[in-house]
């Protein structure tokens, strides 16, 4: 039987988020958490830009696929974390995606 990958990503992220909160003693409101997640995503998107030769004024480098994948996964980490903090689970995210995709 194939594992529900989206559920598993959410489960792993929930576990990681709980460990970070406990180990670092972080206690923010939902609003502040979401703001922090957005800032983290922006930071990670910037790192992706660096990996894909955004700076046209510099000599382009060969794209390091491993680093590119790592940065994209970092965005996913923060995105899923933001969903969890907003009270959005994998089912709700999936259903909202399907509705939006049909537009």
Q: pLDDT-derived band of residue 1, with 50, 70 and 90 as boundaries?
A: low
Mean pLDDT, range 4-10, rounded to an integer: 96
Q: What does the alpha-carbon distance between residue 40 and residue 34 come to, in Å, rounded to a whole number?
A: 10
CA distance 98 to 92: 10
Q: Could you read off the pLDDT of 74-103 as tens digits, one per residue?
A: 999 999 999 999 999 999 999 999 999 999
Tell me the pLDDT tens digit for each residue of 13-26: 999 999 999 999 99
Please give the average per-residue pLDDT across 35-58, as a whole number.
Answer: 96
Q: What's the pTM value of the predicted model, to 2 decimals?
A: 0.90
Computed over every residue of the chain, the mean pLDDT equals: 95
**Rounded-to-integer distance, Cα 39 and Cα 81, Å:** 12
């Amino acid at each position: 039987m194939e594992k529900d990958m989206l559920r598993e990503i959410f489960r792993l992220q929930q576990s990681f988020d709980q460990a970070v909160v406990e180990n670092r003693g972080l206690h923010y409101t939902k609003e502040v958490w979401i703001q922090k997640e957005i800032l983290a995503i922006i930071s990670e998107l910037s790192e992706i830009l660096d990996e894909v030769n955004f700076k046209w004024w510099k000599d382009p480098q060969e794209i390091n696929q491993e680093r590119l994948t790592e940065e994209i996964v970092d965005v996913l980490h923060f995105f899923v974390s933001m969903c969890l903090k907003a009270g959005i689970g994998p089912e709700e995210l999936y259903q909202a995606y399907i509705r939006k995709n049909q537009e």
